Structure 1
Amino acid sequence: MVSDEVKRAAARERARKYRARKRESEGSARPERRDVQPGRVMRDAVDRSLAAMKWLTPSDDGAVSQARLLAEQVDVLTAEGATTKLLAAHRALSSVLGALAGTPTMRLQHELRSLRAAGRTDEEPDERDDEQERPDSVTAIPRPAARRPA
């Protein structure tokens, strides 16, 4: 009878050999990283987005740097064709941009919170909204009609 320790050691050895074979097969199919010239599609888009975010302050510099770094990583991974890592980098970038209120959903949530903080609701539109000039950081979004009558 074979002990559990021997079985685990055999399983570890099989896994090690499998990973080595997989690395060999992937290495020949994937181009060398130094041969790949990544584009700047995501980096340029993130730079434009960050430039348009008028509400950012110096205390946001860490998150801004992280967004730029993740955008560069997305471009590199796109050029390399590393799909799994690319999807993870996209999720991380979306999360950082959301934290900076750089996504439409987060901007809408911030605007709705500011309306609540000002003591107004969507049912009580302010006539001055159309007359007032909005700052660049506020998006004019028409509010949908109430689903249920009050």
Structure 2
Amino acid sequence: MLKLSKLTDYAVVIMAQLAREPQRLYTTKALADELGLPRPTVSKLLKMLIKAELLVSQRGVQGGYQLAKEAHRITVNDLIAAIEGPVAMTECSLEDSQCDLISQCGVANNWQRVTLAVHQLLASVTLTQLAQTQPIKLPWIQIQTQTLHEVG
């Protein structure tokens, strides 16, 4: 099963909260309390998101965290990469692949195409879209709600 880590999921929840009120400075405590997440986890994720240049922080009594750029300029791909690293379906899909079988496996090119398609999909969905409560509408994908629940 392909699945994002809880840390990535929590990072997206944090970023969506920040996107809903982009002018507000959030403290670690406020985010943890409002989202029901452990403060140490929120603190760790905020540091990772700053390192990925998705957040900025202001020190001091009136300080806090906010998005480093507009939410519509941050993609799902950016969020995943900030916590998990580059998106790749297989080892051979990474730019600096260390796979010893790539020359004889016969599927590397196709896995690279699948990775590219996943990457393009994730890059097409923005934080603005994720932060909305309505389902994301992607014109080229037809998703049945019932199918999602059956798979999950």
TM normalised by structure 1 equals 0.24
Query: Which structure has more strand as a fraction of its residues?
Result: 2
The higher relative CO (CA closer than 8 Å, separation ≥ 6) is in: 2
Greater C-alpha radius of gyration: 1
TM normalised by structure 2 equals 0.24
